[in-house]
Homo-oligomer: A and B are copies of this chain.
């Protein structure tokens, strides 16, 4: 049961995935989830890259993390610059992170053709960079870029680079399979040699999925002695992606018997996976091992029948171990266990009959394209509405939105809303930067008289996803709105063929939830 550390690079290498771009707020939310999941390291970003990365390190240092250490990523110093003058190295220091991950070149071809410096100069700049950061008191992880390709081309030089970093005091040497083209037995053999040659220094592994073997390659390295694994949630990353931590962690724990996350933390794996998909605005890959919606979904009649007799007949692990659940594909929707688990998570105890009603409602809504994973506010309201414990804070009479644009590009956007609050009618009009903004402003204008606490509430994110892409602009869209007040953050969801209407539904819920929450606090 030897310990293997988990190093997450979703926020840095994951963001290299095509179409993925995290805002500062996204990055902070993901970091908190990773900390809750219990990974050992969170790589926050390329410190020297831009203002957003800088702001992340500032903000995250104000948050107390329970389990994870934040790492700042950067290059080793440039060949023609002193280490104390190097932009990347200085950006790491000023990030305030207590751990640094610096990448150095190990493939002689890259040194000759890309860096274009002498091989000795490369050894020097690697050693300098490590030594300098160690002197400044940081934990230093050395990412040995292209280590395996380098080793295959010139084993002696690749090992020399590692030795230079180790002798300069690196706390860990991470072997990077940068191009992702290796197969497991190569990774095993080479890692074994390194563990022997550099005994005493912790060895890590960082792989990519270009040969469709990123997970197997990571496990092979651990089998050979590596004790730290780098990867991303859902394996997002450049090209074919990074090694998927959602597969690696349960394999290390349940198949190989290593000491990684606790069982209680591992049961958050599926929700973490969904959360990252949602924030990255990527449709979840349902066939993902362990955490995918289909990972324990049984379709073949023979299999379902055998499973009734013994779960082990067609399942490699118990789905609940990773927070997932078994599904029989009679219906394609959430099952009772799913809903019960959700209720439990929300601290709601209901009788069997109410649970059934909730299940029916959730299934109907899921059929229409709703998804509650990132919309805890709407889910809470749904339960209250079904239990009859909730009176709406206001009723819509009518809204009308108008958007126009002329040949000069001048735009006008106006929303009129008529609603009633406990019998009182309100009829207001507001302009806005877009239909949803105009609607939001009009709604606040009409409600703040009754509910002054709405002034503390802000919308912080707004996401739209087409649910059935085939029908193009006539398809349904799902809008997810994230809101916050002084002490919490919540999500709400709306679905419609009309983006304005879907936004209205999510917007209404966001306000209803704020008022519900405040009332609950008062009691």
Contacts and interface: CB of A to CB of B under 8 A. Distances in A.
Nearest to A223: B185
A21 B433 CA distance: 30
A303 interface: yes
A239 interface: yes
Nearest to A50: B332
Given A295-B239, A459-B472, A460-B469, A316 B211 contact: yes
A84 interface: no
A16 B292 CA distance: 16
Given A18-B297, A239-B296, A240-B295, A251 B314 contact: no
Interface in A465-480: 465-466, 468-470, 472-475, 477
A411 B435 CA distance: 15
Contacts of A374: 18-19
B474 A469 contact: no
How many copies are assembled? Answer: 2
Given A310-B109, A403-B501, A298 B239 contact: yes
B295 A468 contact: no
Given A238-B298, A434-B500, A211 B255 contact: yes
A288 B240 contact: yes
Interface of A: 16-19, 21, 23-26, 49-50, 109-110, 113-114, 178-181, 183-185, 209-213, 215-217, 219-220, 223, 235-236, 238-241, 244, 247-248, 251, 255-256, 281, 283, 285-290, 292-300, 303, 305-306, 309-310, 312-317, 329, 331-333, 371, 373-374, 395-407, 411, 413, 432-437, 439-440, 458-466, 468-470, 472-475, 477, 481-482, 496-501, 503-504, 507
14 contacts: A18-B286, A19-B374, A110-B313, A212-B244, A239-B294, A240-B294, A240-B295, A241-B287, A281-B465, A397-B407, A432-B473, A433-B498, A434-B474, A434-B498
Given A211-B215, A238-B299, A434-B496, 9 more contacts: A109-B313, A211-B289, A212-B289, A398-B406, A411-B498, A439-B473, A462-B472, A464-B464, A473-B503
